[in-house]
Amino acid sequence: MHECRDAQGCARSAPTGLDGGYAASSSLRFAREKDIELASITGTGKFGQIIRKDVLAILDNQPESMIAQATTLPSDASSQFEPFSMTRKTISERLSRSWREIPHVFIRIEIDATRLLVVRKALIEELETKIPIEAILVKVCLPALREFPTFNATVVEGGIELHQHYNIGLAADTETGLVVPVSKDADRLSLRDMVATMLDLLPRAVERKATPEELSGSTFTVNNIGALGNISGTSIIPYGTTAILSIARSVEKPVAIDGAVEIRPTLEVTLSFDHRAIDGGLAQRFLNRIQENLEEPVKALL
């Protein structure tokens, strides 16, 4: 150890490297996490200080087996290693890439679901079939996507590709992991056709019977996180798109209406968007349009 002084001139001690330099506390923690001895590191920072780059250089020169050993958690006789299934591995790789490469931003809004629930009930009676909330959600999103095309797009080298087709992904939970079946050319479907598509596609996706073609090519995604009872939540943006909209389960809450308190069904809608292509103001305007369409869904469904 040797003595150095902080910005106020107070003496303090710091661990030294072979060259007499000292390691910054964050670099020291990083080296310990990777099980690297400080004495093996040559500091290249100011006054021979060991910096993060020096630790990374050691890691780059280590055999892969040593790195794996250093980063493997200790286990005991009661532990059991369970390898990822191919589905889980694919999900892991895609989500990791999305989270690593896309600067995610999340905004939320709470909507009055009174009209939405009334309209859905009326549609069930009119069409004499179950109406997945995803069908209504897709229909109310389409006008907003036309108005704000950046949300139906892909970030590419040096710019953004605005899609002229609307392939809407439908995030679905399965026993083996998340899948995203895609309603192709959703803008060309009537509400009745949209409902029929959902009632066919979603169950097959959950049962792992959807084709690879039906599980690819989305340009925008909706996620009904309320299906499992969630009243709040966010979603990671599927790679190759710029946004995903999540809708939660409706719950009754006291709401101020014209100076009086009423109990209304409300639900939270969350937008996850790619900040490389979309700024906060544009995202808020898009979400405001979604709110209008959900609170008065008849306009969007006609």
Contacts of 52 (CB under 8 A, 6+ apart): 24, 26, 27, 30
Q: How is residue 245 written in tokens?
A: 């909209």
At CA 62, angle to CA 61 and CA 64, rounded to 5?
Answer: 125
Could you confirm whether 275 is annotated as catalytic? yes
Residue 94: count other Cβ atoms within 10 Å of its Cβ. 16
The catalytically annotated residue of 104, 163, 165, 275 is: 275
Tell me how far apart the alpha carbons of residues 301 and 142 are, in angstroms, rounded to a whole number.
10
Tokens 């995610």 map to which residue? 104
Report the run of H or E that residue 221 belongs to, with start and end: strand 220-224
Tell me how far apart the alpha carbons of residues 205 and 202 are, in angstroms, rounded to a whole number.
5
Tell me how far apart the alpha carbons of residues 170 and 60 are, in angstroms, rounded to a whole number.
41
Catalytic residues: 275
